[in-house]
């Protein structure tokens, strides 16, 4: 579990890094939004602990921006303790909101709780989130899908590792099994691959083309 702590007060940042380290987390520190962006590119972060009062981009804006494109765990730890502030924090997308000072043991428990929410679907690192019409990549990036893409991915993800014939794929799209529709299927899969790789270059969509048969969603673990 890798936690990214964003805190501009050096002593507090150091205490959080050391304290969470004692609870068994791998911890990276950043002092502002720029440092956070750099860490997100370099490392696979599971949960972000975010201060709101930061130099440069404010923590609330950072939270909104992160949440717009990712389901990553987000815990706000701030000195802003008013109910209005808490509401703003939750509306910006925080999973949990704590007012300083926070007990390090409580923060560690909160991080584990958020992580359990993220690990709700143990079958595959790829998850479909139907409510928001999105695919969640293993990097926790949310990729918006159209209804056809959802139908196809739903079928492929329901039978991971299996070859799914064109007939079956065309059927979920409401199209007849006719050679004239094969190219539409190819275009749809190809656009889907492009869309995912643009959103999360670290995790190309593992859909394999089965020559003259159809497609298969194949993950490394086979799970």
Binding site for Ca ion (CB under 5 A): 8, 51, 53
Decide whether 77 or 135 has the Cβ nearer to Ca ion.
77
Q: How far is the CB of 79 from Ca ion (least distance, A)?
A: 7
Asked if residue 129 lies in contact with residue 137, where contact means CB atoms within 8 angstroms, the answer is no
Name the 3-class secondary structure at 102: coil
Task: State the DSSP code for 80.
Answer: -
Distance CA 171, CA 201 (A): 30
Q: How far is the CB of 149 from Ca ion (least distance, A)?
A: 41
Q: How far is the CB of 99 from Ca ion (least distance, A)?
A: 13
Q: Which residues of 134-153 are buried (b: 16+ CB within 10 A; e: fewer)?
A: bbbbbbbbbbebeebbbbbb
Q: How far is the CB of 78 from Ca ion (least distance, A)?
A: 7
Decide whether 39 or 205 has the Cβ nearer to Ca ion.
39
Distance (Å) of CA 103 to CA 20, 78, 137, 162: 11, 13, 32, 48
Decide whether 96 or 196 has the Cβ nearer to Ca ion.
96
Decide whether 8 or 26 has the Cβ nearer to Ca ion.
8
Decide whether 59 or 206 has the Cβ nearer to Ca ion.
59
Q: How far is the CB of 9 from Ca ion (least distance, A)?
A: 6
φ/ψ of residue 196, rounded to 5: -70, -45
Q: How far is the CB of 54 from Ca ion (least distance, A)?
A: 6
Cβ-Cβ contacts under 8 Å for 142 (sequence gap 6 or more): 69, 70, 71, 129, 132, 134, 135, 136, 199
φ/ψ of residue 136, rounded to 5: -105, 120
Decide whether 8 or 61 has the Cβ nearer to Ca ion.
8
Decide whether 79 or 132 has the Cβ nearer to Ca ion.
79
Residue 156 backbone class (left: φ over 0; alpha: ψ -120 to 50; beta: rest) = alpha
Q: How far is the CB of 51 from Ca ion (least distance, A)?
A: 4
Residue closest to Ca ion, measured at CB: 53
């Amino acid at each position: 579990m890798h936690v990214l702590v964003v805190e501009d007060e050096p002593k507090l940042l150091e205490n959080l890094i050391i304290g969470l380290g004692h609870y068994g987390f791998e911890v990276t520190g950043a002092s502002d939004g720029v440092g956070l962006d750099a860490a997100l590119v370099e490392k696979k972060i599971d949960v972000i602990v975010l201060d709101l009062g930061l130099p440069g981009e404010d923590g609330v804006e950072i939270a909104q921006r992160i949440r717009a494109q990712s389901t990553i765990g987000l815990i706000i730890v701030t000195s802003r303790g008013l109910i209005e502030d808490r509401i703003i924090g939750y509306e910006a997308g925080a999973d949990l909101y704590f007012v300083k000072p926070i007990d390090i043991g409580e923060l560690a428990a909160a991080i584990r709780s958020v992580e359990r929410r993220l690990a709700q679907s143990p079958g595959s690192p790829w998850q479909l989130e139907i409510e928001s019409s999105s695919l969640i990549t293993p990097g926790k990036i949310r990729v918006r899908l159209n209804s056809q893409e959802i139908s196809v991915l739903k079928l492929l993800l329901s039978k991971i590792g299996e070859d799914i014939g064109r007939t079956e794929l065309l059927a979920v799209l409401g199209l007849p099994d006719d050679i004239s529709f094969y190219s539409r299927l190819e275009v749809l899969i190809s656009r889907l691959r492009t869309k995912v790789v643009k959103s999360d270059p670290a995790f190309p969509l593992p859909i394999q083309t089965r020559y003259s048969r159809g497609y298969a969603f194949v993950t490394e673990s086979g799970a």
